[in-house]
Amino acid sequence: MSRDEKRGHVYLVGAGPGALGLVTLRARQLIEQADVIVYDYLCNPEMLRWARGDAEKIYVGKSGSYHTIPQEEINAILTSRALAGKEVVRLKGGDPYVFGRGGEEAQILARSGIPFEVVPGVTSAIAVPSYAGIPVTHRDFASTVTFVTGHEDPAKPDSAIDWSWLARLSGTLVFLMGVERLRQITGRLIAEGADPATPAALVRWGTTAHQETLAGTLGTIADLVQERRFSPPAAIVIGDVVKLRSELNWYEALPLFGKRIVVTRTRGQAGVLAQRLVQLGADVLEIPTIRIVPVPSDAPMREKLTAFSNHFDWLVFTSPNAVDRFFAEFFQVASDLRDLGTVKIASLGPATTAKLQQLHLRVDLQPEIFTAEKLAEALAEKIMPGARICFPKGRLAATLVADRLQERGARVESWILYDTQPEKEDLGGARLRYQNEGAHFSIFTSSSTVEYWHAMQLQSEPDTPRPRAVSLGPITSATLRRLGYEIAAEAPESTLDSLVATMLKLSMESIP
Ligand code: SAH
């Protein structure tokens, strides 16, 4: 083993401005591989979900300008872990070398002989104005852009900042870390000759779904910030480019912007729905309520799996999890997909069908409307009396399909291949945010998620919005009603498309 390998590395990684999609590919790769991740409060904690389950995650910063852990201690964490042979990712908000003391951390590593790599990130200084509809340069309005730290006291006689020069620049000024000293900053610029009518804006938590923007002028902005109690972290943008906001504000104009939506699903599944809602501007709190725990097949099931089509005419799936679990069991006993034989396959809807298609299996029946009821009806029309049906499912899945088919004379075997259990972890911090901030909507995609959500009894702070429930279908709605939840809407079909369309419709009707 070479010296370098034994030593481990430190990666100074830009975590981007907040939005998960603005993290670089290299950053994600390093997070996935890291032994140790050291992060602070400007890093979106959701990216920690990419980390290995056994990675050590060390939080070293809290909100405000003071570190929970002093810089020397952060340095010691980085060097000691690396010297012990660990791969250490030091995540820093935005770009590590823009006002983040990244340069100092790199110097320590260089001096300690620790191999390091720097992964630049999308800096908030550019991305945050951009998400508020403000390009930091523009041919007609600004040919220069200057990034300034707002930490320096403008009244300090030996300030490292040349205020009179800044005041005379015609380009864009972007101050980071400047909210607390805003009045001194704008006052000093005006005193040095800047025009008080120069457009100015503050953007807090930019690029995230709880972004807020406040626009005014150099002369008015400090009062506005005080009135509205606009708090950090925020980027301050000063210059004529701020005017472009009225034309270019694409992000805050997204249809679900400003709506906080709880998505309750199992770990693996929430992603797709959450992503679509995020793209529409929603602030999505992914709160997993359940996790899938496989229930192994028993001996009689395994016996039947070895000669499946001798025992069954139809294989019926009502969820993607059931497909996963059935084939996991099937391939325990079979080595060839053809061992499944000539059995026909029915699927409740597109998500389940897509899972089957991944296995290159064609679906023989999918109802036109994607509900359990319609599936049972459609199947009942197709099958012969006495048809033998295998129905792999979760322990809590509805028995409606099996019951209806049995009434029609079919012989249904329900195979329980997975169980659902309450999820306890809060890796992305979404539960905590729900408790502090509440939500406008919560989406339920199955009865079991409703049951588990109810069992969690999560309460949010008194003045926060109470979520209204949105349900994926009649069975889920019935469970919601039984447990006393108000239903804002039910998606007409059990698909993500239908659910997303329902959310869009709701957002137009309601002002939070
Ligand atoms: N290295 C970081 C900046 C670190 S200084 C970067 O390149 O972005 C911290 C300051 O960055 C905060 O005080 C705030 O002014 C700004 N900032 C970081 N993320 C922000 C966000 N999402 N919205 C608004 N300002 C942000």
Domain with residue 469: its CATH number is 3.40.50.10090
Domain's final residue, options 120, 135, 153: 120
pTM of the model: 0.74
Domain's final residue, options 248, 281, 301: 248
Looking at the fold, whether 24 and 113 belong to one and the same domain comes out as yes
Looking at the fold, whether 418 and 324 belong to one and the same domain comes out as yes
The pLDDT of residue 197 is above 90: yes
Q: Which of 23, 42, 122 to mutate to test the pocket of ligand 1 (most atoms within 8 A of CB)?
A: 42
Looking at the fold, whether 114 and 178 belong to one and the same domain comes out as no
Domain presence at residue 196: yes
Looking at the fold, whether 135 and 195 belong to one and the same domain comes out as yes
Domain presence at residue 160: yes
Domain presence at residue 512: no
What are the φ/ψ torsions at residue 290 (nearest 5 degrees)? -135, 155
Looking at the fold, whether 403 and 432 belong to one and the same domain comes out as no
Amino acid at 383: I
Q: What is the pLDDT of residue 57?
A: 93
CA angle 426, 427, 432 (to 5 degrees): 45
Q: Which of 118, 131, 176 to mutate to test the pocket of ligand 1 (most atoms within 8 A of CB)?
A: 176
Cα separation of 4 and 100, whole Å? 27
> Is residue 426 helix, strand or coil?
coil
Looking at the fold, whether 418 and 433 belong to one and the same domain comes out as no
β-sheet bridge partners, residue 172:
145
* Centroid of chain to Cα 97: 26
CATH classification at residue 45: 3.40.1010.10
Q: What is the pLDDT of residue 159?
A: 83
For 67-71, 105-109, 280-284, 293-297, which range has the lowest pLDDT when averaged over its residues?
67-71
Cα separation of 238 and 259, whole Å? 29
CATH classification at residue 157: 3.30.950.10
Domain presence at residue 3: no
Domain's final residue, options 422, 439, 462: 422
Other Cβ atoms within 10 Å of 95 Cβ, number: 25
CA–centroid distance, 99 to ligand 1, in Å, is 9
DSSP string, 166-229: HHH--SEEEEES-STTHHHHHHHHHHTT--TTSEEEEEESTTSTT-EEEEEETTTHHHHHHHHT
Domain presence at residue 74: yes
Cα separation of 262 and 285, whole Å? 5
* 393 catalytic residue (yes or no): no
Cα separation of 113 and 504, whole Å? 55
Looking at the fold, whether 411 and 315 belong to one and the same domain comes out as yes
Domain presence at residue 254: no
Domain presence at residue 393: yes
Domain presence at residue 217: yes
- Residue 183's nearest CA partner among 230, 145, 146, 240 is 230
Looking at the fold, whether 194 and 242 belong to one and the same domain comes out as yes
Cα separation of 132 and 279, whole Å? 16
CA–centroid distance, 354 to ligand 1, in Å, is 41
Q: What is the pLDDT of residues 439-498, one digit of tens each?
A: 999 999 888 789 889 988 899 999 999 999 999 989 899 999 999 999 999 999 888 899
Q: What is the pLDDT of residue 158?
A: 82
- Residue 458's nearest CA partner among 503, 507, 424 is 424
* 177 catalytic residue (yes or no): yes
Looking at the fold, whether 275 and 319 belong to one and the same domain comes out as no
* 283 catalytic residue (yes or no): no
End-to-end CA distance of the chain: 59
Q: Which strand (E) or helix (H) includes residue 332? A: helix 320-333
Q: From the candidates 6, 62, 156, 382, give the one annotated as an active-site residue.
A: 62
Looking at the fold, whether 19 and 95 belong to one and the same domain comes out as yes
Counted domains in the chain: 4
Residue span of the structural domain in which 190 resides: 126-248
Looking at the fold, whether 103 and 131 belong to one and the same domain comes out as no
Q: Which of 124, 210, 283 to mutate to test the pocket of ligand 1 (most atoms within 8 A of CB)?
A: 124
CA–centroid distance, 113 to ligand 1, in Å, is 30
Looking at the fold, whether 234 and 161 belong to one and the same domain comes out as yes
Report which ligand 1 atom has the smallest distance to the Cα of 18: 22
Q: What is the pLDDT of residue 3?
A: 47
Q: From the candidates 35, 47, 86, 177, give the one annotated as an active-site residue.
A: 177
